[in-house]
Each structure stands twice: as structure tokens, then as C-alpha cells.
Structure 1
Amino acid sequence: MNDFTGFPGIGKATAIPNLFFSAVLPRLESPDALLAFLWVSRLAQAQRGEARCASAAVIWAEPAARASFEAFGGGKAGLDSGLARCLELRALIAIRLRGAGVDEAVYFPNDPVSRRTVTASGAANSACAPKRQSFRWSSRTAPGHFPAL
């Protein structure tokens, strides 16, 4: 992006809570977790409705996200480890979608709307799931706690 001339005065933006800078950022040890948090936040905020989330596959499919992880975030392995670290720090929360040949985690910024969505997902199919498939949430895994993704 050699022709970058600056940000517009008015434009789309991704909100990052101020608490992130004092409570989470100092605890990040590598760029992969920072990138994971930023990309989940960016992609989740671009969505409408209460279920605003992103899977690792969705993040990796975003060309700019992939390029940033490949440049200095450890590639695909860095994305996976960054998401895991954000879960450990509780900056992100997640649920696992299972069914119709799919078994994947979807990640949410840890905010009140996302917490309500994750809590409610135990009783119904996740609104993050593609409409063409049916998914079941596994109650055996607590939201936000995945030993290995």
C-alpha cells in the first residue's frame, strides 16, 4: 500500500475499548494475539445483529488479515495461537459450532452483547452459523474454553 495518504476525517472505523489498552495489551507477548483480537473486532463490528463473530477460517479468508499474519503474525499457526491467547486473557469468547460436517469455533469480542449471545447459544443454533446448515452447540465445552482449536 505505497500510496497511503492518511485516514479520512469521516469513515468506517473499528472501536477498540479503552480497557483493552490497559488490561489486555500489556499482557500480550507476541503480535499474533494482537492481530487476532484486532481482526475479530474488525470483522465482528462489520456485521449486523447480535451475533457478531468470526471463525479462524473467515479471518484467514480476509486478504488483508492473511497478509498481516503472514507478514509478522506467524502465518496460520499464529492466527490459531493468537486466538487461543485472546481466549486465555478473556479478551475474546467463543463457542464451538458442530453439525452438518462442521466443527469450528467462532470468536466474539468479550462484551455484554456477545456474552448474552454466547449464553443463549446453548439453547439454539448459533446465529453466526451459515443459514444453509444446521449446527448444535456442545454444552460439554464451556463458552470461551477450548484446550486446542
Structure 2
Amino acid sequence: MPKSTPTPKQLQKAIDLAEAACLSAGAVLTPTRRLVLELLYRAPQGLKAYDLLDQVKTVKAGATPPTVYRALDFLTAQGLVHKISKANVFRACAQGCHAHAHPGLFLVCPKCSGVEELDDDVATHALLQSLGQRGYTIAAEEIEVSALCPACRA
């Protein structure tokens, strides 16, 4: 997925890939899960859970926090969504689906809370290897690096 809001064609392709990934894992992308994922793809900067709930309510008036959190738990478990703790947002995986092959690598700006997912297997592998040599393992599906974005540096 692009760093900007996807076109309808890009969004459909991303959802199709997500659905295929779920099916291959024996899971189902229900209408509510699909809606949450679509909303996150449309918000490349990510969304806080309650902002996401507000958007879900425009489509499903009776939606409650557990509805959204269950969908987020499922999508996170499938590698389709990342929780970025430093910015307190959920974000659709820019790579489509990590399928737990490796953790997502994110730059989080401490000034504007902007988040960018890096698709850099070399950097991820080097970090994981270095940690392993010291006896450490990653305890989360996301690696978050606090770094000033170009706009905030200017």
C-alpha cells in the first residue's frame, strides 16, 4: 500500500490480498473486520481505537468498543494491522501482510506522531541478528524507532 490514501483500485487489491491471507491461514475476514481494515488503509497515518470506532459507527450505528477491539485483535494476529505504541495508533500493514515472517519496522516522529513503516529486510535482519548475538529476542510484532521526520526537522 502507498504512504498516501489509496485509490479505489489499490484499496480493493489490498483487501483481496488480506482476504487471501486470511483464507490461507484458515481465518475469515468478516464484514466488520473488513470494514476496520478498509478504514485503516484509508488512514495511512493510523487511527486511535476510539477514532476508528467513531468511523465504524457511521456505517454500523450499534458498534461498541469491543466490536472494534475484537476486529483489531484479529487483524493484528493475522499480521494485517500493527499497533504503534509510541503514537497510540493502529495502522494497516504497508507491506500487505507480514504473516509473522519478521516484525514490522517503524519510524515514529516524537513531535508530530507521524509513523512510517520501513520495508527494509536488511536493516530488520541486521537488528534481529545483533539482538540475538546478545541473547535478546524481539518481544513484539513491531519495532518502533523514535526519529524526527523530515518535516519536523525543517
Q: TM-score w.r.t. structure 2 length?
A: 0.50
The structure 1 residue matched to 2:91, chosen from 87, 94, 108, is 108
Q: Please report how far the alpha carbon of residue 30 of structure 1 lies from its aligned counterpart in structure 2 after TM superposition.
A: 4.1
Q: Please report how far the alpha carbon of residue 109 of structure 1 lies from its aligned counterpart in structure 2 after TM superposition.
A: 1.5
Distance in 2, matches of 1:93 and 1:120, equals 10
**SS at the partner of 2:140?**
coil
Match of 1:121 in 2: 107
Q: Please report how far the alpha carbon of residue 110 of structure 1 lies from its aligned counterpart in structure 2 after TM superposition.
A: 1.3
Check the 8 A contact 1:69/1:78 in 2, yes or no.
no
Check the 8 A contact 2:50/2:65 in 1, yes or no.
no
TM superposition outliers: structure 1 runs of 4+ over 6 Å: none
Check the 8 A contact 2:22/2:29 in 1, yes or no.
no
Q: Please report how far the alpha carbon of residue 78 of structure 1 lies from its aligned counterpart in structure 2 after TM superposition.
A: 0.4
* Superposition RMSD in Å: 3.5
- Note closer, same or farther for the CA distance 1:35–1:141 as it changes in structure 2 (3 Å cut): farther
Q: TM-score w.r.t. structure 1 length?
A: 0.52
Match of 2:118 in 1: none
Distance in 2, matches of 1:76 and 1:30, equals 17
Match of 1:42 in 2: 42
Match of 1:96 in 2: 85
One-letter amino acid of the counterpart of residue 38, structure 2: L
- Note closer, same or farther for the CA distance 1:15–1:92 as it changes in structure 2 (3 Å cut): same
- Note closer, same or farther for the CA distance 1:56–1:111 as it changes in structure 2 (3 Å cut): same
Structure 1 unaligned regions, length at least 5: 1-11, 45-51, 99-103, 129-139
Match of 1:48 in 2: none
- Note closer, same or farther for the CA distance 1:127–1:58 as it changes in structure 2 (3 Å cut): same
- Note closer, same or farther for the CA distance 1:66–1:141 as it changes in structure 2 (3 Å cut): farther
Q: Please report how far the alpha carbon of residue 55 of structure 1 lies from its aligned counterpart in structure 2 after TM superposition.
A: 1.5
Match of 2:20 in 1: 22
Aligned residue pairs total: 103
**Which runs of structure 2 are paired with 1:19-98 in the superposition (5 Å)?**
19-24=17-22, 27-28=27-28, 30-44=30-44, 52-62=45-55, 65-71=56-62, 74-97=63-86
- Note closer, same or farther for the CA distance 1:31–1:111 as it changes in structure 2 (3 Å cut): same
One-letter amino acid of the counterpart of residue 111, structure 1: A
Structure having greater relative contact order (Cα 8 Å, sep ≥ 6): 1
Q: Please report how far the alpha carbon of residue 75 of structure 1 lies from its aligned counterpart in structure 2 after TM superposition.
A: 2.3
